[in-house]
A = this chain, B = another copy of it.
Amino acid sequence: MDMEKHTTASIFETLRDRICLLDYPPGTILREAALAKEFGISRTPIRAVLQRLEHGSLVTVRDGVGTIVTDLDRAELNDIYEMRLKIAELIGVLSPRKITPADETLAIGLLKRARQLVTNYSASEYWQINHAQHALIADLIGNSVLREVWDQLYYRSARFWYREASNTPDGVVQDLVAELGEITRAFRARDTVAVGYIQRNFIAFSFARLKSALNPDQPTS
């Protein structure tokens, strides 16, 4: 029984998170009828949601087949991360919002939560902290276009690093703690440019980690 009132926005977020959290692994075929039945509505609004997901490059709809969760190939990984590296540097440049004490408080809270991950790891908690950190920084971006691109690339890259976090949580959690520590420091100094560069650096670290995971060893002749 579903007592909740599912709106198209909430369904979109639900499906998006299922894809990002690899609950729907790449290649999964989603059926409109099944989703419609699950959420207790008709196929029409489901189709609208799937179209939005397709715009975000998370799925591709194929006539007569179904809606297929997109694959994670290496070329796309490179393209997304190359862009995120460059986009991050713009965060503090394109007329950002001023950092407030409330922001600082939120960052400190996230840092504390992240530190607890070191001893008690939980994939769901890791995801939620990342999510909150992303929202916190996206809210600083003054340029609306930059914020949209930043947001979309975040969700498009999420599956890559979430899978890596599940495989080898140790290093990933250490990075998250370090990142939030630096962000807290930058927030204390009210330095938005620093926030952008911190993001750039940790995206680069994550990128390196993912690449070495795909290339376990250097090829030997």
Contact = CB atoms under 8 A, between A and B. Distances in A.
A52 interface: yes
A91 to B, nearest CB: 11
A80 interface: yes
Contacts of A76: 144
By secondary structure, the A interface counts as: helix
A95 B94 CA distance: 25
Contacts of A146: 79, 82-83
A143 B83 contact: yes
A186 interface: no
A145 B75 CA distance: 11
A48 interface: yes
A75 B47 CA distance: 33
Nearest to A143: B79
Interface in A87-128: 90, 93-95
B83 A94 contact: yes
A79 B83 CA distance: 18
Contacts of A149: 83, 149
A82 B51 contact: no
A146 B152 CA distance: 12
A99 to B, nearest CB: 20
Nearest to A48: B51
- Among A83, A93, A146, the most chain B Cβ lie within 10 Å of the Cβ of A83
A211 interface: no
Contacts of A94: 79, 82-83, 86
Interface string A56-72: 00000000000000000
A153 interface: yes
Contact of A55 (B55, B79, B156): B55
A79 B149 CA distance: 12
22 contacts: A47-B48, A48-B51, A51-B51, A75-B144, A76-B144, A79-B143, A79-B144, A79-B145, A79-B146, A82-B94, A82-B143, A82-B145, A83-B90, A83-B143, A83-B145, A83-B149, A86-B90, A86-B93, A86-B94, A145-B153, A145-B156, A149-B149
